[in-house]
Homo-oligomer: A and B are copies of this chain.
Amino acid sequence: MQVLSKASINGLRALLYLAAQERREGYTGIREMADELDISFHFLTKILQELTQKGVLRSYRGPNGGVALARDPGTLYLEELVLMMEGDDFFDTCLLGLPGCGERKPCPVHAFWKETKAALKKEFQTTSLEELGQQIRVGKVRLAD
């Protein structure tokens, strides 16, 4: 069951890596993140470029350059990030791939799929990078391996 694309997963992991940093000023090199998270440098670069273009990250070139969160991680909730990376219809899909979900006569699994989507959406709406970054800082969870 793969819910997020590899690109989204790696983008999210990088954002969490940044949110978990102790120090807030300065930039974190993409090379360092790629090594630490075990992602290809070039692949991660491409993913982060898009996040920079979308205003979630700011970047800086040259020595000691890298990327940094462009906004307070307390205001960055998973929902916004996932919609940004996966598309705005992320929470509006049919389990059986039928078009017009929710509006028209439902598919046979509508009843519980609707619940599942709603629960997931709510969680994404109420979970911020700040919150998850904190959990990483105290060492309760992992981002790699």
Chain A residues near B (Cβ < 8 Å): 1-4, 6, 9, 12-13, 16, 78, 86, 90-91, 93, 95-100, 104-110, 112, 115-117, 119-120, 123, 127, 132, 135-136, 140-145
Contact = CB atoms under 8 A, between A and B. Distances in A.
Copies per assembly: 2
B107 A142 contact: yes
A105 B145 CA distance: 10
A141 B91 CA distance: 21
Given A96-B13, A108-B141, A3 B1 contact: yes
Contacts of A123: 112, 116
Given A1-B117, A112-B123, A117-B1, A9 B145 contact: no
